[in-house]
Amino acid sequence: MEQSLAGKVAIVTGAGRGIGRAIALAYGAAGAKVAVVSRTPATVDAVAKEIRDAGGEAIGVACDVGKRDQVFAAVQQTVETFGGLNIVVNNAQGFGTEDSPQPSTVFVACEDTNEEEWEYTFRTGATASLWFMKAAFPHMKKAGYGRVINFASSSGQIGFEGNTCYNATKEAIRALSRTAAREWGQHGITVNIINPALETRAFDAWKSARPDFVEALKEKIPVRRLGDPVKDGGPLAVFIAGPGAGYITGQTFMLEGGMHTLP
């Protein structure tokens, strides 16, 4: 892979598996120094080792994105290790509640929304994204080069039934991203969103709960398949983080194989 991110420093959250891992590996291959961030020390260390074994530079940083002090500490550790910060990928997202976490969204009617789930989903989604952005901003501004990539979902765009907490935090993330894009562009910082339809651990859990729906979903996707985190997710994230995407900001990239063609 072309070293399009040589000399850049990146944080990728939720990078212990799935699309976060795929992006971290892609960034390492593209020359970035990568902080692999997730809750489990053994997992982040394993992914960081994969990057180093492939000739890249990486550290594992154990961090619960739902804890503000841990978010700011993760950014500080990254800056102290690599001397700066240019790229933040907010991919992590919690489901369920803090006391009873779930591997994917929990489908309930809007009127039955669990308010503890609402709080936890927002704290690990929109609020965690804001925390990482705030912590990273001064370092990106100083460098005159910043790329923030936040993860949302077309589920929020269309208001998918039974998904109130997830939909709300994902649309909040898009609003946060558009606002920061308009404010931070003058500093050489872009802020964009990826809405994915990829086969990940969370999606697998969703598929187990609703197998018929997921199989029917594939038939509605023009390319007739779900995306692959490595083949489809990594390359897009590398492009958005690179110098060739410096004139693109505040946009939602629909990484869905054409499933939705929303204006």
- The catalytic residue positions are 166
Strand partners, 89: 12, 149
Report whether 260 contacts 22 (CB < 8 A): no
3-state SS string for 179-236 = HHHHHHHHHCEEEEEEEECECCHHHHHHHHHCHHHHHHHHHHCCCCCCECHHHHHHHH
DSSP code of 125?
I
As a whole number of angstroms, the distance between CA 60 and CA 99 comes to: 25
As a whole number of angstroms, the distance between CA 30 and CA 101 comes to: 34
